[in-house]
Structures are given as structure tokens and as C-alpha cells.
Structure 1
Amino acid sequence: MPRIEAGSVREHRAQRLAQLIDAAEAVLREDGVEGLTAGAVAARAGMARNSIYRYFDSIEDLLELVVTREFPVWIEAVERAAAAGTSPQERAAGYVRANLEQAARGTHGWRASLSRATLSPSARERVRELHTSLHEILARIVTDLGRPQPELTVAVLQAVVDACIRRIDQGDGLDTVSDFATEAVHRLLAHDR
């Protein structure tokens, strides 16, 4: 049995998986997707090549783990920000701001480019499901507004978020983009229909 380097087997496995994902990210940044091999990841992580498959089934699975790595923290931050609002309008603004903050603090642009270019169909489906869980937060907020055409409202608000994330990925400042997006949300939601 391999020696564990943590308080429990579960912690050890989590640490090793994080180490492998870190190694895969380093390989991807230096050598691109073409350089992402079991041997390269194992060497970077300081592990035997065959032992890395205890943590994932294939390099495609590891690539999916790299792409989806930031989602749990992102979703949690958005849920927290949306819940902090005292009205549906403030919750919607919180949703927008939190998404933009997460895009600015993380590596969204890089991970998104990996996602578009290299993921398997099943991994793309997993990414879509994670995005859907974010959109469901917004859908619940819009439902609380009680307006006609809630699906259209969600689509327009999400389009604002997506456009502003692209601007952040292109280098625009978070404060400028967030202020613009928040104002757009308030204007969109200010009028009864």
C-alpha cells in the first residue's frame, strides 16, 4: 500500500489529484494540448506514470478536470452574492457582479479556450451542465420578479454577463465592466412590463 502524506486516505487522494491537475495545467501552459501526455503529467507531478490513473481514467478526463476546476468556487461565490440581495433586482445585480469578479480573479479565458478546442463530447456536456447550474440561479431570481417572459429576461441578463466576461477576458478592468453591467441590469429590471 502506498504511503499517504495526509491525515487520511481521502485527504491524500485529494492532494494527489490537485497535484496532478496543477501538473497538467503547467504542461498545458508550456506545451499546449499536444504536450499533455500521461508521461509529461507524471514527470511534472513526480509520480510514476501508471499511478496517475488511480485518479482519473484518461488524459481526456484530466483535461476536463483542468477546465472545470474553478466551477465549484465560482458557483458558490455567485450563490452567496445572489442570496445577499434584499430584492430580486439586488440579487440579479449580485449574480452579475459575482460572475464578473470570478472571471477577473481566475483563469476563465484560458480555461474557456481549452474547452472550445479540446474537450470530448462528454466533457463538453459536463461544462454545459455546470453553466446551466449557474443559469438556474438567475432563473430563480427572475421568477421572483414575477414578470412576463421570464426566459427572455434570463437570456438578456445572461447575455450581459457573457459579453462582460468576454471584455474582462480581453483585458478590460473589472470595476469599469462591473459598473456598466450593474447599471444595465438595474435599467433592464427597473420598468414594469
Structure 2
Amino acid sequence: MPKIEAGSVREHRAQRLAQLIDAAEAILGEGGVEALTAGAVAERAGIARNSIYRYFDSIEDLLELVVTREFPAWIDAVEQAIAAAATPGERAAAYVSANLEQAARGTHAWRASLSRGSLSPSARERVKHLHTSLHEALDRVVRELGHPQPELAVAVVQAMVDACIRRIDQGDDLTTVSEFAAAATRRLLADSHS
């Protein structure tokens, strides 16, 4: 049995997987998808090439892990922002602002471009499912508001979030974009009760 470098086998596996994902990210940043090979990842992570397959089945699986790495923290941040808001309208604005804050952390554009161009169809489907779980939080808030057309409202708010994320990815100021999007969300959802 290999020597573990953590308090438990589970912690060791988590650390190794993180090392492998870090190595893959570095390789992708330097040389793109073409440079991402099992040998390059193993060398960068400092482990035997055949050992990497204890953590994932293929380079395509590793690429998916790179793309989806930030999703759990992103979803958690959005859920926490929603929970901290006092009213349904503020929860909708918090959903928007939290998503934009997560996008502005610096790696969204890069991960999104990998997702669009380099993932297998099954991996793209799993990424789509992660996005859907995020959109469900907005759906709950819009339904809590009693919006007469909740599916349409969710689609419009999400389209605005997506457009604002693209603006942030292109270099627009987070505060400016976030304030605009949150205010637009409040107006959109408030107008539904007029």
C-alpha cells in the first residue's frame, strides 16, 4: 500500500486529486488542451504516471474535474447570499450579485471556454446539470415572490446574469455591473405585481 501523506486515506486521496487538478490547470494555462497528457500531469504532480488513474479514468475526466472544480463553492456562496437576504426581492438580487461576484474571481472565462470547446458530450451534460441546480435556487425565490410567469422571469433574470458575467469576463467593473443587474432584477420582479 502506498504511503499516505495525510491524517487519513480519504484526506490523502483528496490532497492527491487536488494536486492533479492543480497540475492540469497549470498545464492548460501554459500549453492549452493539446499539452494536457497523462505523462505531463504525472510529471507536474510528482507522481507515477500509472498512479494518476487511481483518481480519474481518463484525461477527459480530469478536464471535467478542472472545469467543475469551483462549482461547489460557487453554489454554496449563492445559497448563502440568498439565505442572508431578508425579503424575496432581496433574495433575487442576492442571487444575481453572488453569481457575479463568483464570476469575477478570475477563472470563470477560462473554465467556460474549456467547457464549450474541450469537454465530451457527457461531461457537458454534467456541467449543464450543475448550472441547472444553481438556477433552481432562483426559481424558488421567484416562485416565493408569487410571480405570475415564474419560468419566464427566471429565464430573463438568468439571461441577464449570463450577459453580465460575459461583461465581467471582458473586463467590466464588478461593482458597476452588479449594482446595475441587482437593480434591474428588483425592478423586473417588482413590476410583476403592478
Same fold? TM cut 0.5: yes
Instruction: Give CA-to-partner distance per residue, 1:86-109, whole Å, 9 cap, x none.
Output: 111000000000000000014100
Match of 1:67 in 2: 67
1:50 Cα shift?
0.4
Q: Could you tell me which residue of structure 1 aligns to residue 89 of structure 2? A: 89
Q: Does 1:116 align with 2:116?
A: yes
What residue identity is the alignment partner of 2:52?
A: I
Residue of structure 2 in register with 1:189 after alignment: 189
CA distance in 1, matches of 2:32, 2:162: 25
Q: Does 1:152 align with 2:152?
A: yes
> 5 Å matches for 1:174-185?
174-185=174-185
Amino acid at match of 2:142: V
Aligned ranges for residues 22-171 of structure 1 at < 5 Å? 22-171=22-171
Alignment coverage as a number of residue pairs: 193
Distance 1:82 1:92 in 2: 7
8 A Cα contact 1:70 1:106, kept in partner: no
Identity %: 79
- In the alignment, structure 1 segments of 5+ residues that lack a partner are none
Question: Is the Cα–Cα contact under 8 Å of residues 142 and 153 in structure 2 kept in the other structure?
Answer: yes
Shift of 1:147: 1.7
Matched residues in 1 for 2:106 and 2:10: separation?
A: 26
CA RMSD of aligned residues (A): 0.7
Query: How far apart in 2 are the matches of 1:65 and 1:128?
Result: 14
Name segments (4+ residues, structure 1) moved above 3 Å. none
CA–CA distance in structure 2, aligned partners of residues 92 and 188 of structure 1: 10
CA separation in 2, counterparts of 1:75 and 1:139? Answer: 14
Distance 1:164 1:147 in 2: 23
In terms of mean alpha carbon deviation, does 69-78 or 79-88 score higher?
79-88
Could you tell me whether the CA contact under 8 Å between 2:147 and 2:189 is conserved in 1?
A: no
Contact 2:96 2:181 survives alignment (8 Å): yes
Q: Is residue 168–residue 174 contact of structure 2 (8 Å, CA) maintained in 1?
A: yes
**What's the CA shift string for 1:15-41, capped at 9, x where partnerless?**
000000000000001110001000000
